[in-house]
Structure 1
């Protein structure tokens, strides 16, 4: 599954100096919108955090690209579909 490949990349990217211990990660199947490119929804949680974080990536993104998105997350930043 793509989640296993994403976790493999995250383990190599996230070393002890990083503050983002990812607990779980789910990647949706590609979704085709009628007005735009297909996408995947990526959702992940970290240890100790109650909310999950979500981000939309292009459907053709590789597992390494998805891992980079998760690893580059800034704690406290919320990804929403509406402006805050």
Structure 2
């Protein structure tokens, strides 16, 4: 699986469903935990004004490029943790 293929699937998915501007996407090699199924870490950046620098999610290691693109497109940001004091 290559990041370029995931990025192409992501761009076509987002064009047809969303207006989310994804700038880059990285997919890790499969990671085997001491328990449970192996997974991949997906990290992407957007060009939205005032947005956080990057988003992350995990997907099962056997996910296809299209599955990963759908996971990124359907991502709902959670809590934002920063090191700055409010």
Q: Is the 8 A contact 1:39 1:59 kept in 2?
A: yes
- 2:13 alignment partner in structure 1: 13
Aligned Cα RMSD in Å?
2.0
Number of aligned positions between the proteins: 78
**Normalised by the size of structure 1, how large is the TM-score?**
0.80
Unaligned 5+ runs, structure 2: 81-86
Please list every run of 5 or more consecutive structure 1 residues that lacks an aligned counterpart in the other structure: none
In structure 1, the residue corresponding to 2:68 is in which secondary structure?
Answer: helix
Higher-Rg structure is 2
Paired residues for 1:63-78 under 5 Å: 63-74=65-76, 77-78=77-78
Please give the TM-score of this superposition, normalised by the length of structure 2. 0.78
Change (3 A) 1:16 1:42: same
Quick one: distance in 2 between partners of 1:13 and 1:40?
20
Query: Which residue pairs with 1:41 in the alignment?
Result: 41
Consecutive aligned runs of 4 or more in structure 1 exceeding 3 Å deviation: none
Pair 1:7–1:79, CA change in 2 (3 A) = farther
